[in-house]
Structure 1
Amino acid sequence: MKNKIILSLIGVLALGSFAYADIQAPPKAQWNWSRKLSRSVANLAYGVSEIPLHWQKVERVDGANAAASSMVIEGTVRTAVRLGYGVFEFVTFPAPVYKGGYRPPYYVNDRFDTWYGYQEFPPQVGFMSQTRYSRGQSW
């Protein structure tokens, strides 16, 4: 009798060990309504930081004259896009709107090409130590 109980317990534990591999987070678990709300508030509050950041990017590559004109045009466009997405996400934060989830609706390609696309949250101006991409070293 004891052998049957022990064998059945071992069988239950062996079958239960297969169920462990199925416990995972769903694909869209990192984005939820609170992250969407915080992203919208950040876009509304700090979307203007796109103007000086665009100055830094263009000045590093093309010089100060190109940066001055590009900052006015492209920086203003990027700020308007950020503010528009901030308003859109603030109004729709309780509902999963974009592709049935709470993902950012704008083009996010900052890991591969940092020039185009938008980061999920507005960028910081100045020294950034938490960037997700590697920077080249020039001698």
Structure 2
Amino acid sequence: MTELWLMFSAAFLAATLLPGGSEVLLVAFINDDKSAWLALVIVASLGNTLGSITSYYLGTLGRFARSPEEMAKGKYKHSLALVQKYGYWSLLLAWTPIIGDLLCLLAGWMKLPLLRTSLMILIGKSIRYILVAAMALHWL
């Protein structure tokens, strides 16, 4: 049970703006107990998704800080263009390093629908953790 809480916490923190490598922890826990892989993947996916939703809400607060014109010209322009073009579908990439956190922030900033956004984040992050777990099970 302790492993599940640690996995959840690490995944949650890794999805916010704090750096973290929850995949390494997932592989280590699977290495210790291969039969727990499914519970670990579920907990990691939920924790990571909730962390991204936290970033989404931080983005909603940022709406008051920057105008759309400032966002379109600044360092966010490529990510903003991605979210503008694909909408909540772009959140399937929320698991990617660097850009994933920004996509979640921008989704909140653009006030994309929370339910659809959350579902896309969950799907993308779950697929990533399933692939990591499958590789760990195969090679360990």
- Please give the TM-score of this superposition, normalised by the length of structure 1: 0.29
Structure with the higher helix share, 1 or 2: 2
The TM-score normalised by the length of structure 2 is 0.29
Q: Which structure is larger by alpha-carbon Rg, 1 or 2? A: 1
